């Protein structure tokens, strides 16, 4: 199912793995609605965060449209059918769906969304992203940012988004993955206001269940300021 609130669960993913996950998303003061969305499809090892943009209705609609398209397709697919090319195709297809809706509806013109999507398969992380939502890996108390923001040259806004154009270039990278690593997905409502060194200390020093770590990240982002929506997701694999 698509999970849209604070949650902590232990779900069967593939025969050799269990995913422990927690996520939360809160509305900032910039918009009338939360334009972030996220997806946890543990049965397929696929997780995603979207940060919508584009007017009163457009941002929320764009991010939800992307999540729904990818989730509904992957939910019925066989695990053995999922691969890098296929996931890239799903993201590009979602881009065309968002772009077409914006083209056909005047009130949705200019809408789009970032996307960071991760597929955890055996000892690998396959990361796909468009925009400035980020993926981090925490290993041995060291936090590594696994994505590079698609930022515009003048430093404000992003240079690439889902739905902004009829076609989109999806950036993909593979990373190694070990048991006890943590994967952290963030919208820029958090990464813009909390530096990486602070993210590390919050994850490492906060004790208790993963939902407590997520709550600490959200609370720290609120204290740090910023009017954007804030979304965080934390994933760990246990053998």
Q: What is the pLDDT of residues 165-185, one digit of tens each?
A: 999 999 999 999 998 899 999
Q: What is the pLDDT of residues 152-166, one digit of tens each?
A: 777 678 999 999 999
How far apart (Å, rounded) are the C-alpha atoms in residues 169 and 129? 9
User: Would you say residue 146 has pLDDT above 90?
Assistant: yes
pLDDT at 78: 84
Report the predicted TM-score, pTM, of the whole model to 2 decimal places.
0.90
Q: Which pLDDT band, with edges at 50, 70 and 90, does 1 fall under?
A: very low
CA angle at residue 97 from 111 to 147, to 5 degrees? Answer: 70
Give the neighbor-by-neighbor strand order of the sheet with 112-121. Answer: 36-41, 46-53, 112-121, 124-130, 171-176
User: Would you say residue 88 has pLDDT above 50?
Assistant: yes
CA distances from 8 to 161, 211, 214, 231 (A): 30, 6, 10, 15
pLDDT at 237: 85
Q: Treating both helix axes as pointing N-terminal to C-terminal, what angle do 84-104 and 55-76 enclose, rounded to 10 degrees? A: 150
Q: What is the pLDDT of residues 93-121, one digit of tens each?
A: 999 999 999 999 888 888 999 999 999 99
Domains and CATH numbers, the chain: 7-238 (3.60.40.10)
Q: What is the pLDDT of residues 35-61, one digit of tens each?
A: 999 999 998 999 999 999 976 578 999
Q: Which pLDDT band, with edges at 50, 70 and 90, does 11 fall under?
A: very low
pLDDT at 99: 95
Q: Which pLDDT band, with edges at 50, 70 and 90, does 8 fall under?
A: very low
pLDDT: which is higher, 238 or 75: 75
pLDDT at 152: 79
Q: Within its chain, how far is the Cα of 166 from the centroid?
A: 22
Q: Which pLDDT band, with edges at 50, 70 and 90, does 2 fall under?
A: very low
CA distances from 196 to 45, 79, 163, 212 (A): 25, 34, 29, 19
Q: Which pLDDT band, with edges at 50, 70 and 90, does 202 fall under?
A: very high
pLDDT at 24: 96
CB of 24 closer than 8 Å to CB of 34 = no
pLDDT: which is higher, 68 or 10: 68
pLDDT: which is higher, 129 or 2: 129
CB of 206 closer than 8 Å to CB of 213 = yes
């Amino acid at each position: 199912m698509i999970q849209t609130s604070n949650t902590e669960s232990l779900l069967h993913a593939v025969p050799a793995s269990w995913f422990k996950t927690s996520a939360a998303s809160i509305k900032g003061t910039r918009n009338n609605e939360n334009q972030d969305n996220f997806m946890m499809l543990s049965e397929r090892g696929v997780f995603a965060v979207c940060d919508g943009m584009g007017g009163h209705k457009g941002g929320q609609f764009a991010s939800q449209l992307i999540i729904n398209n990818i989730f509904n397709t992957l939910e019925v697919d066989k695990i053995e059918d999922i691969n890098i090319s296929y996931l890239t195709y799903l993201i590009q297809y979602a881009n065309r769906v968002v772009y077409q809706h914006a083209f056909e509806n005047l009130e949705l013109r200019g809408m789009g969304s970032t996307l960071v999507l991760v597929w955890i398969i055996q000892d690998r992380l396959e990361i796909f992203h468009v925009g400035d939502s980020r993926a981090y890996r925490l290993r041995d108390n060291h936090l590594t940012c696994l994505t590079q923001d698609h930022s515009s040259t003048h430093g404000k806004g992003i240079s690439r988004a889902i739905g902004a154009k009829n076609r989109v270039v999806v950036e993909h990278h593979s990373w190694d993955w070990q048991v006890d690593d943590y994967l952290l997905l963030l919208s820029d409502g958090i990464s813009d206001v909390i530096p990486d060194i602070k993210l590390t200390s919050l994850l490492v020093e906060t004790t208790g269940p993963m939902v407590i770590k997520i709550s600490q990240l959200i609370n720290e982002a609120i204290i740090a300021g910023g009017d954007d929506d804030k979304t965080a997701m934390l994933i760990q694999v246990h053998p």
